[in-house]
Amino acid sequence: MADPSLLPHPARHQAMLARYGFGLFPVPRYQDAAVGSWRVARYGRGPVEGYLPGAVLEPERHVLHHGRTAWMSTSLMELESHAFHVHQAVGVVVVAGLGMAMYAHAAVQRPEVLRVVVVEQAKEVIAVARAAAGMDRWPRGDKVRIVQGDALGSRLADLVLDATGGRRPDYLYADIWAELAAPQAPDDTARMVRALQPKAAGWWGQELSFGRWCQEHGQPAEPATLQAYAQETGVPIPVSAGYAAFCRDVAAARLPRRPAAGQPSGWRRLWARLRGAGSG
C-alpha cells in the first residue's frame, strides 16, 4: 500500500470517493532540478483552484517549466484532472508523456498494475523527472519502463509492444499537451488508440473536451452521452455513472461560456489560472 503521508488533500479525497467512486493519489517527494531548458521548481504556500469546484490553500507545489512555460504541476487541479485515469490503471498501462512522472508514480503503486510503459520524446524531460521525482528510489519502481520516442510517430506500436512483450495495453493515458483539454487531444489520442489497440483509454482534460462537445450538441453529460462521445472520437473511454457525474461537476465549474463570434477563447487564461504556477 502507498505511503498515506504522500496522499494530498485527504478531505477532498474522501469527498471524491463518496461521490464518484475514485479519489486522489500519492505523489512523489519532489526536489528542485534542472536539465537543459526544463526545470522543476518549488513554489511556496498559496491558494489554488481545483479542477472540481472550490479552492484550497496548498503548503507548497512543484511546477515543471519548459523555458518560461509552466507545463504541469502538483497543484490540486492537476491531481483532480489525473484522478480518474489513475483509477483506471490496471494490468499493462501505457502513458504518452512523462511530465513530472506523477502519473507513472501513482500507477506503479496500484497492485492491479503489472507494468507501466512511458513514451517520452524529450531526453531532457526524462532526466529532469528522474532527478526531481527520485524515480530510482520508488517502491515498485521496477514496474516502470521509459521508452524514448514520439507518441504520434509511425513507430509507436513497435516501441510499445517491444516494451510490453507483445501484450496489448489494458489502459492508455495520453498527456502530451501543455494546454488543458487541447483541441487536438481527442484526435491525437484516437491516433494512438489505432496504433496500440488498448482495451480502454483516455486523455488529460477529457472531461472538459466532453463538456464542450455536450455544449455543441445540446446534450447532458450522462453515461449514454459519454458513450456516444467515445464512439465519435474513436477512443474507448470507460463509462460509469460516477465518472459522468465527475464530468458534469468539472464542466459546470470550469467550462467557460462560449465566446461570441470574433471574441478570443478564454481557455488559455483559464489554464494559466488553474495551473497555479504563479508566484508563491
pLDDT digits (tens, 9 = 90+) for 34-89: 999 999 999 998 888 899 998 888 889 999 999 999 999 999 999 999 999 999 99
pLDDT at position 270 over 70: no
- Predicted confidence at residue 242, as pLDDT, reads 98
CB 175 within 8 A of CB 103: yes
- In the chain, the number of structural domains is 1
For residue range 131-156, list pLDDT tens digits in order: 999 999 999 999 999 999 999 999 99
Task: Give domain status of residue 27, yes or no.
Answer: yes
Residue 259 belongs to a domain? yes
Domain that holds residue 73: 4-272
Q: What would the grid cell of residue 68 be?
A: 518560461
Q: What is the pTM of this model?
A: 0.91
Distance between CA atoms of 157 and 249, rounded to whole angstroms?
35
User: Closest Cα to residue 144, out of 188, 103, 185, 175?
Assistant: 103
At residue 2, the pLDDT reads 46
- DSSP states of 121-166: --HHHHHHHHHHHTGGG-TTGGGEEEEES-TTSTTHHHHHHHHHTT
Chain segment 195-228, per-residue pLDDT in tens = 999 999 999 999 999 999 999 999 999 999 999 9
Burial-class residue 45 by CB neighbours within 10 Å (0-12, 13-18, 19+).
exposed
Q: At what angle do helices 223-233 and 241-254 cross, to 10 degrees?
A: 80
CATH assignment at residue 186: 3.40.50.150
Residue 36 domain flag? yes
For residue 279, tell me if it sits in a domain. Answer: no
Percent of the chain with pLDDT over 90: 81
Residue 280 domain-assigned (yes or no)? no
Residues 6+ apart with CB under 8 A from 222: 244
Q: Of 78, 68, 75, 120, which is closest to residue 99 (Cα–Cα)?
A: 120
Mean pLDDT of 258-275: 46
- Kindly give the pairing relationship between strand 91-96 and strand 69-73: unpaired
Question: Residue 253: inside a domain, yes or no?
Answer: yes
Residue 274 is predicted with a pLDDT of 47
Average pLDDT, the chain: 90
Contact indicator for 233, 192 with CB cutoff of 8 Å: no
Question: What are 223-246's pLDDT values in tens digits?
Answer: 999 999 999 999 999 999 999 999
277 falls within a domain: no
Residue 124 CB neighbours (<10 A): 15
Residue 141 lies inside a defined structural domain of this protein: yes
Distance in angstroms (rounded) separating the CA atoms of residues 80 and 148: 27
Dist CA 196 CA 199 (whole Å)? 9
Cβ atoms within 10 Å, residue 252? 12
81-119 residue pLDDT tens: 999 999 999 999 999 999 999 999 999 999 999 999 999
